[in-house]
Amino acid sequence: EVQLVESGGGLVQPGGSLRLSCVASGFSFTYWMSWVRQAPGKGLEWVANIKQDESEKYYVDSVAGRFTISRDNAKKSVFLQMNSLRVEDTAVYYCARAGDYGHYFDSWGQGTLVTVSS
């Protein structure tokens, strides 16, 4: 069974940093992986993705230069380092796996809540 388990969320002050982790199990860790977020009561927003060999990484404009996605294939994990956090980064952050045939998201974690507030 495919499983994605996120951790690392919490309360942080504006300007602070946080590192999210996602551990995968139940499949070969050879897929593109993404982070998708959802602000309270709002829709879904793709944040970043990373290729299997880390040779390609992409970000939504609103986090480029502040967030960094990375992965450790030996530990079947993907990470999101979030710096210079803003109030508007408050959201549930989901880890998601790309599908076999394209960049749709066929498996999701349960999400971890990041709250940026003073």
Partner 1 sequence: DIQMTQSPSSLSASVGDRITITCRASQDIANYLAWFQQEPGKAPKLLIYDASTLQSGVPSRFSGRRSGTDFTLTISSLQPEDVATYYCQNYYSALGFTFGPGTKVDIK
Q: Identify which range of 13-21, 67-75, 83-91, 96-104 contacts partner 1 by CB under 8 A.
A: 96-104
Q: Is 108 a binder of partner 1 (CB under 8 A)?
A: yes
Q: Identify which range of 11-19, 29-37, 66-74, 75-83 contacts partner 1 by CB under 8 A.
A: 29-37
**Hey, how many other C-beta atoms are within 10 angstroms of the C-beta on 51?**
14
Task: Give the position of tokens 């079947």.
Answer: 76
List the one residue from 16, 62, 106, 117 that touches partner 1 (CB under 8 A): 106
Going by C-beta distance under 8 Å and a sequence separation of 6 or more, which residues neighbour residue 72? 78, 79
C-alpha to C-alpha distance for 105 and 99, rounded to whole angstroms: 6
User: C-alpha distances in angstroms, 83 versus 27, 38, 53, 64?
Assistant: 30, 18, 24, 10
List the one residue from 1, 40, 74, 102 that touches partner 1 (CB under 8 A): 102
Q: Is 65 a binder of partner 1 (CB under 8 A)?
A: no
Burial class (CB within 10 angstroms; exposed 0-12, middle 13-18, buried 19+) of 88: exposed
Q: Is 75 a binder of partner 1 (CB under 8 A)?
A: no
List the one residue from 5, 60, 90, 113 that touches partner 1 (CB under 8 A): 60
For binding to partner 1 (CB under 8 A), which residues are involved?
Answer: 32, 34, 36, 43-46, 49, 51, 56, 58, 60, 94, 99, 101-111
